[in-house]
Structure 1
Amino acid sequence: MDKLPQDLHVDILRRLHSPDVARCRVASKIFDDAYSHLRSIKFKWTIVKPSSINLFKKIFLNLISNMRVVESLCIGDVDEFREYDKKLGDDLNLLTHEEFIMEWLSKVSQNLKSLSITYFLDDGSFWWQQAKVLNLVSANCHKLVELKMKYARLRSVDNLNPMLMLKSLTLEFIHLNDENLNKLNTCVPNLQVLNLIGVTGIRKPKIHLLNLISCHLLPKHAFLEHLSLITPRLIKLRVEEILSTSVLYVEAPLLSRLHIDCRYVQDAFSLKKFENLKQFSIKSSDIGSILYYFTITETVEDLTVDARVGIGKNFRFTLEKLFTVFPKVTSLCIRSYAWWELNREWFIIASESSSKITQGTKGLRKLRIENYKICDPSFFLLDVACVLDQCIGLSEISLLICSDVGGDVLKSEIDKCVACWPNLKWRWRMYVE
């Protein structure tokens, strides 16, 4: 160990959580000397009884006080939290205590660039905690670039200070008193990454951030009255679990990756024409309606389609419509119930006029079918034939099959498919649900 350079000792400590760091410092003077050069620390909750509260404070403050510069701090990871004394009550959430927040924040705020805070979750009681930490962080950490917060009820954001250096913001299972996100838009104008996961308190969010590159939205209880995104530099967008009551408006001319998961679609579903969209993933109970409102996009090459049980019937979900909207798709993934719905439509269309969909599938090269359920193996060959006879340009097919039938029986059916279409490259895997 003596022959190793100090930079390597620091790198070893950087990869450990605080209890392991403390053990290394006690066990080795080399690590103890290297500790002061450490710039990041991960501190996990390990309190199991009331008498440990003061000890926790002392250890935590000692750790950060002995570091020359603290650039990254992660505190409150509860993923591996052990049994604790119920008498602790709100004392366990030390981060909600303003005095303690200021005590440790004053020691790290000058150079802090990354901060991750997780509150303790106890049977949903976190919704009633009133955390002031966001306001304190915005007032003291002027060099902060990345901020993550999980499990808390934040107080009013009216006093939130501008965080001009902040590039990445993640809020998970947070109650945020900013219905339209107007204050957030104002305070983090240079934000590039925004993740709002399970956030309540926002009902009509308007995300107007000129520098935003990546955005992930998953509202709690799947309810938003209105969702508007005007983001001229946005490249990646993921919107999940949106109900039919939502009004969705997206204006992002540079968007290249889009994932939409919504239950049902209304007339208010509005997506501006995307001239750079390459990868698109859609999950809905009403895929046909989304395809109806989606403008023709010739740039999409990688398309994933997933459906919920009870698919909407406002507009038919057909392969013809799919390739009309996305005529340049070369890789198509069809998941679960969407396969069943499309296959049913293929039978209908083939009986009417098989030429309708042949033209639109000529460019398709790769087809992946996921969670394909087989009830009767004797129908497998016919099922696959309905697809492959239409996709004349196909070169590769991948199957992820959910089946209760024996592997030998299924392999026999796949061998028949390989014999019928020997020019295709076949990949398949079976699993039992």
Structure 2
Amino acid sequence: MEDLPAPLLLEILGRLSDSADVARCRVASRALNSVAREIRSVHLYCSHLRYAKSRSPLTRSSITPFKQVFCRLISELHVVERVFIGVEKPLLLVAFDDVEDEDDDLFLSDVSFAKEWLPKVCRDLKSISISDFWVQSCWRRTDVLSLISSYCCELHELEVKNAWLSVDGLTPMPNLTVLTLQFIRLDDENLEKVNDSFPLLKDLNLIGVGGLKDPKVHLMHLRTCHWSVSNAPTSISIIAPSLVDLTLKCVKPNLLFIEAPLLSSLNLSVDSTCNLKVKEFSHLKGLHLESSGLRNLLLAFPFSRTVENLTAVSTKWESPVAVSKSILELLLHVCPNVSCLTLTSRVWSEFETYTGLEDLESRVQMKGLNEITAYLTVNDIGVTLSTIFSLLDSCSGLSNMAIFIHRDVVSNVTSNLISACMAHCTRVRWKWGMWKEGTRDTWISDGI
């Protein structure tokens, strides 16, 4: 190790994902210690073990405060481009009842703490990630966003988790292209400051952001957006002329408005029905729809001739009694040129109990379908087989069918279902798997 060239040693240290490991290497090797100051990133996370020792009367005096460790570490580096500081996941499970004092050593978005290290390294910073300790941060409002915006002119990526953020004093950051706010209480109920302060954002992630009333994302350069709304705002608006990839999960807004003409991939999850208003998606290729009111969502969705890959998820049983069209027919009416279709268990169950399967082929065109994936519970093997056969007979171009059978279905029923399907249609390449709520899908056989 001591004979290796300095650039190689620096490359080795730079690949370590934890600055604590870097510190151990520095102690173990004189050569590594000599180049350590040239590392340009800091990754420091407080473990659950360290936290427990810092609170125990037996070990508390021997544990250096976490913030002090970080400030010492960052002060030893010549240039800092990336900072990742936070708590490990097990600490996120610590209950409020377990914390009796007002300690703030893991309140990492604290402005006073940020002022200790940020001004020293801000000139070269490209990326900042702060993952707070929610027990200490949730009741402390912080102005760390305004501090970062005033110091870090060249910042490209910013991530803040588990904090209560103010937008007071937030100034524009024209170089920021990636913003992630996760499990955040945000004092920007309509996202006006977010839109104004980060005008060139290309990647926006708002995961579990609360405190929103009528949020609007209006960003001209946004390309990807992952938005999971934790409360139930009155309305949600997305106006993004450059957006190509959108994942949106919301509760029950009165109004959901989307204007994204270049959208190519849409993953939309709505807990309940809402007033959906969208401009035409002329470039949409992949569509994932999930709702407790899937039928009403489909009735409100615009005609999308370009969709090729379609997934339908119903989170609540919808009775097909007294309806003129099954959910499958609605899906294929909205997306008539779909080639790859995935039907989850409740959608398939509704399809099985629909009374109009006999005339399916005459009512809906399915010639373009060449691949179907279905998740089955098999309450009645006869009904399930009849439904599969009707679907196969209506899809002349179908060449691949993947069927996942629930793990609780007895083995002889699964075997009989597989045998009957393969005997009925030999032109199809069959794939068989098993599924169950809360577990990963597994394959029984692939490509028979």
Instruction: Give the TM-score of the pair, scaled to structure 1.
Output: 0.91
Note the 1:155-234 alignment, pairs <5 A. 155=166, 157-221=167-231, 223-234=232-243
| Residues 216-264 of structure 1, C-alpha deviations (whole Å, 9 max, x = no match) | 111113x121111110000001111331x43111111110000110123
Q: Shift in Å at residue 52 of structure 1?
A: 6.2
Distance (whole Å) between structure 1 residues aligned to residue 293 and residue 414 of structure 2: 32
The alignment partner of 1:70 has SS state of coil
Distance (whole Å) between structure 1 residues aligned to residue 176 and residue 314 of structure 2: 37
Distance (whole Å) between structure 1 residues aligned to residue 31 and residue 399 of structure 2: 59
Query: Which amino acid in 2 is paired with 1:344?
Result: T
The alignment partner of 1:158 has SS state of coil
**Partner of residue 120, structure 1:** 133
Mapped pair 1:18 → 2:19: yes
Bigger mean CA offset, 283-292 vs 269-278: 283-292
Among residues 80, 87, 90, which one is paired with 1:77 in the alignment? 87
Query: Which amino acid in 2 is paired with 1:59?
Result: V
Q: In the alignment, is the contact (CA less than 8 A) between 1:209 and 1:230 conserved in 2?
A: yes
Distance (whole Å) between structure 2 residues aligned to residue 419 and residue 103 of structure 1: 72
Go from structure 1 to structure 2 and tell me whether the alpha carbon gap of 1:13 and 1:408 turns closer, same or farther (over 3 Å shift).
Answer: farther
**Partner of residue 362, structure 1:** 367
Distance (whole Å) between structure 2 residues aligned to residue 368 and residue 163 of structure 1: 45
Go from structure 1 to structure 2 and tell me whether the alpha carbon gap of 1:6 and 1:409 turns closer, same or farther (over 3 Å shift).
Answer: farther
Query: Which amino acid in 2 is paired with 1:102?
Result: K
Mapped pair 1:238 → 2:247: yes
Distance (whole Å) between structure 2 residues aligned to residue 128 and residue 83 of structure 1: 15
Go from structure 1 to structure 2 and tell me whether the alpha carbon gap of 1:383 and 1:403 turns closer, same or farther (over 3 Å shift).
Answer: farther
**Partner of residue 149, structure 1:** 160
Distance (whole Å) between structure 2 residues aligned to residue 229 and residue 83 of structure 1: 35
Q: In the alignment, is the contact (CA less than 8 A) between 2:249 and 2:269 conserved in 1?
A: yes
The alignment partner of 1:218 has SS state of strand
| Residues 253-307 of structure 1, C-alpha deviations (whole Å, 9 max, x = no match) | 11000011012334x3101101110000000122222222222111100000000
Q: In the alignment, is the contact (CA less than 8 A) between 2:132 and 2:161 conserved in 1?
A: yes
Q: In the alignment, is the contact (CA less than 8 A) between 1:381 and 1:413 conserved in 2?
A: yes
Mapped pair 1:284 → 2:291: yes
Distance (whole Å) between structure 1 residues aligned to residue 329 and residue 65 of structure 2: 67
Matched-pair identity in %: 36
Note the 1:6-405 alignment, pairs <5 A. 6-14=6-14, 15-45=16-46, 46-47=50-51, 48-49=53-54, 51=61, 55-81=65-91, 86=99, 89-122=102-135, 126-155=137-166, 157-221=167-231, 223-243=232-252, 245-266=253-274, 268-311=275-318, 316-345=325-354, 348-351=355-358, 353-358=359-364, 360-370=365-375, 372-405=376-409
Distance (whole Å) between structure 1 residues aligned to residue 324 and residue 177 of structure 2: 41
Mapped pair 1:424 → 2:428: yes
Bigger mean CA offset, 109-118 vs 402-411: 402-411
Q: In the alignment, is the contact (CA less than 8 A) between 1:238 and 1:259 conserved in 2?
A: yes
Gaps of at least 5 residues in structure 1 are none
Query: Which amino acid in 2 is paired with 1:11?
Result: E
Q: In the alignment, is the contact (CA less than 8 A) between 1:120 and 1:126 conserved in 2?
A: yes
Distance (whole Å) between structure 2 residues aligned to residue 288 and residue 22 of structure 1: 57
| Residues 120-171 of structure 1, C-alpha deviations (whole Å, 9 max, x = no match) | 122xx6431111211111111111111111111112x131011111001010
Distance (whole Å) between structure 2 residues aligned to residue 37 and residue 412 of structure 1: 65
Q: In the alignment, is the contact (CA less than 8 A) between 2:109 and 2:130 conserved in 1?
A: no
Q: In the alignment, is the contact (CA less than 8 A) between 1:260 and 1:283 conserved in 2?
A: yes
Q: Shift in Å at residue 196 of structure 1?
A: 0.8
Gaps of at least 5 residues in structure 2 are 55-59, 438-448
Query: Which amino acid in 1 is paired with 2:130?
Result: I
The alignment partner of 1:304 has SS state of strand
The alignment partner of 2:187 has SS state of coil
Go from structure 1 to structure 2 and tell me whether the alpha carbon gap of 1:301 and 1:192 turns closer, same or farther (over 3 Å shift).
Answer: same
Q: Shift in Å at residue 324 of structure 1?
A: 1.8
Instruction: Give the TM-score of the pair, scaled to structure 2.
Output: 0.88
Query: Which amino acid in 2 is paired with 1:323?
Result: L
Distance (whole Å) between structure 2 residues aligned to residue 87 and residue 292 of structure 1: 52
Q: In the alignment, is the contact (CA less than 8 A) between 1:286 and 1:312 conserved in 2?
A: no
| Residues 30-61 of structure 1, C-alpha deviations (whole Å, 9 max, x = no match) | 21122112111210113432546754333212
Q: In the alignment, is the contact (CA less than 8 A) between 1:264 and 1:312 conserved in 2?
A: no
Distance (whole Å) between structure 2 residues aligned to residue 432 and residue 188 of structure 1: 42
Q: Shift in Å at residue 407 of structure 1?
A: 2.9
Q: In the alignment, is the contact (CA less than 8 A) between 1:284 and 1:311 conserved in 2?
A: no
* Matched positions, count: 422
Q: In the alignment, is the contact (CA less than 8 A) between 2:326 and 2:350 conserved in 1?
A: yes
Q: In the alignment, is the contact (CA less than 8 A) between 2:244 and 2:262 conserved in 1?
A: yes
